[in-house]
């Protein structure tokens, strides 16, 4: 499937409940959204910010325009329709879904997943590294075809399916979708490198400001946290939100 147009689509909004406007906060002189997009651009794929029509997200659009990042504005709550709209707007055949609260996502891990998805040569394949938790949180990605995304957008009715984009693909229709999991053997699944709470922000800020974490890959980040356990304790108590919360 080498000819297919594939892009990374990342969802971003300013009205997050636990840490409002989190992706616009800064570390190392740059917003977390800029760190996130810069790392994803190293995959060699286009990166599209899928934000909302809410005026609260105007700053995300303004940042995207200043940085030359393509963007799409859609529903705040119906994120599935937002992704489908972005895929149509940019004529995509395949989508790499990530979330913008992952400022240290490893581009090599994402790129290897896309390469494997292309090699499968089957639009019914849903591929991800988070079907089972083996990476640190903050490294998650999903790859699937636009055709299956559009089908989900037409048929999914459960609020959780529409809010979280992909459950309809990998949970509700397993007979029609072939699941491919790419686990990680490098350890660190207990660590949180995602930005959802103030404690997460404190960890990421320290990692970027004091250890140049924006230059490190996943294995190097895991090794750093292994040798700096006091850092990992900053957000070790945070519970990840579950579907529907």
pLDDT in tens, the chain (245 residues): 455 799 999 999 999 888 999 999 999 999 999 999 999 999 999 999 999 999 999 999 999 999 999 999 999 999 999 999 999 999 999 999 999 999 999 999 999 999 999 999 999 999 999 999 999 999 999 999 999 999 999 999 999 999 999 999 988 766 789 999 999 999 999 999 999 999 999 999 999 999 999 999 999 999 999 999 999 999 998 875 554 44
* Tokens representing residue 9 in the block: 């689509």
176 vs 27: CA distance, rounded Å: 43
Q: What is the pTM of this model?
A: 0.94
103 vs 139: CA distance, rounded Å: 9
CA-to-CA dists, residue 84 to 50, 96, 211, angstroms: 10, 12, 38
39 vs 73: CA distance, rounded Å: 22
* Tokens representing residue 202 in the block: 């404190």
Contact status, residue 165 vs residue 97, Cβ threshold 8 Å: yes
Contact status, residue 67 vs residue 34, Cβ threshold 8 Å: yes
7 vs 13: CA distance, rounded Å: 19
126 vs 137: CA distance, rounded Å: 19
Contact status, residue 199 vs residue 238, Cβ threshold 8 Å: yes
Q: Is 201 left (phi over 0), alpha (psi -120 to 50) or beta?
A: alpha
Q: What are phi and psi of 128, to 5 degrees?
A: -155, 160
Domain ranges within the chain, ordered by starting residue: 6-187
Superfamily of domain 6-187, CATH level 4: Spore Coat Polysaccharide Biosynthesis Protein SpsA; Chain A (3.90.550.10)
Contact status, residue 123 vs residue 73, Cβ threshold 8 Å: no
């Amino acid at each position: 499937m080498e000819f297919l147009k594939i892009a990374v689509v990342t969802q971003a909004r300013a009205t997050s409940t636990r840490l409002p406007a989190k992706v616009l906060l800064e570390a190392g002189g740059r917003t977390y959204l800029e760190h996130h997009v810069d790392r994803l651009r190293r995959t060699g794929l286009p990166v599209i910010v899928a934000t909302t029509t809410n005026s609260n997200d105007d700053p995300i659009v303004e940042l995207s325009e200043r940085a030359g990042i393509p963007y799409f504005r859609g529903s705040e709550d119906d994120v599935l329709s937002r992704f489908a709209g972005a895929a149509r707007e940019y004529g995509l055949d395949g989508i790499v879904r990530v979330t913008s609260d992952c400022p240290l996502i490893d581009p090599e891990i994402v790129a290897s997943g896309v390469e494997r998805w292309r090699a499968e040569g089957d639009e019914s394949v849903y591929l991800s590294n988070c079907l089972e938790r083996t990476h640190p949180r903050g490294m998650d990605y999903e790859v699937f075809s636009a055709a299956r995304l559009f089908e989900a957008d037409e048929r999914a009715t459960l609020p959780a399916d529409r809010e979280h984009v992909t459950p309809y693909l990998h949970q509700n229709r397993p007979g029609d979708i072939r699941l491919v999991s790419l686990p990680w053997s490098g350890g660190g699944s207990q660590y949180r490198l995602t930005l959802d709470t103030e404690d997460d922000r404190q960890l990421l800020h320290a990692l970027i400001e004091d250890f140049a974490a924006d230059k490190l890959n996943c294995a190097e980040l895991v090794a750093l946290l292994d040798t700096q356990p006091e850092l990992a304790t900053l957000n070790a108590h945070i519970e990840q939100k579950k579907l529907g919360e």
